Amino acid sequence: MIDSETKPCLLPRKDTKGDSAALASHQALRASELPIFEPLSVRSKQEEDKELWQPSWNCFCCQDTGKIQPSLIRLVMPDYNYDRDRLPICQLCTKSNDLFHLNEFGVLDTRFDLYLCKKLDAIARDDWKRTTLHHFETVKKRVEKATGQIVHSLTTQNRTQNDNREVQQRKAEIEAISPKQWAVMRTAYLGEDDE
């Protein structure tokens, strides 16, 4: 037995027609009560485009985080597991100073010295150069392919032998016109020279 004090559910039941319309209007009513915010970017659009070609960090060993990048760690420790093992910190830049408070918890690996971090930095810089060069070559090939297709489509036409013969004949006729004849035709077409 239903109590007279019980209020009916405002959401539509699944077995009735028009459920999606009722649900949408319910969601629209709830959404209209919420404020609308503009997204706040961390980086400007110009910086995002720049980072594609040049990274924003100075230290390639840790990418200015203080933590050596896992791909570089695996060059020294092939069995390194980021989720299990201690975190090697970079000695090349000062960003690792922010992490030294974690040393008391035993989560930092300080065996990577300055010399090793310099080597890892050089490897990462070289990888970055090769990556950007590869990206540049890929883009260059795409541009050359696209422009080649455009030029090819503009210069190549499906001419018959008859069309080619007619083009050659017109070309020969134009080349046979003397400079004096050109001057007469110019005057006839444009009128007398004002010079």
Across 20-34, 115-129, 163-177, least confident range: 20-34
Using CA atoms, how far apart are residues 113 and 109, in angstroms rounded to an integer? Answer: 10
pLDDT at 11 over 70: no
Q: Decide: 62 and 72 in contact? Cβ < 8 Å.
A: no
Using CA atoms, how far apart are residues 88 and 99, in angstroms rounded to an integer? Answer: 10
Neighbours of 121 (CB within 10 A): 20
pLDDT band at 103 (very low <50, low <70, confident <90, very high): confident
pLDDT band at 152 (very low <50, low <70, confident <90, very high): low
Using CA atoms, how far apart are residues 145 and 139, in angstroms rounded to an integer? Answer: 10
Tell me the average pLDDT of the chain: 78
- CA proximity to 70, closest of 61, 58, 157, 114: 61
Beta bridge partners of 67: 89
pLDDT at 194 over 70: no
pLDDT at 122 over 90: yes
Average pLDDT over residues 124-133: 90
Check residues 162 and 158 and name the one with the higher pLDDT.
162
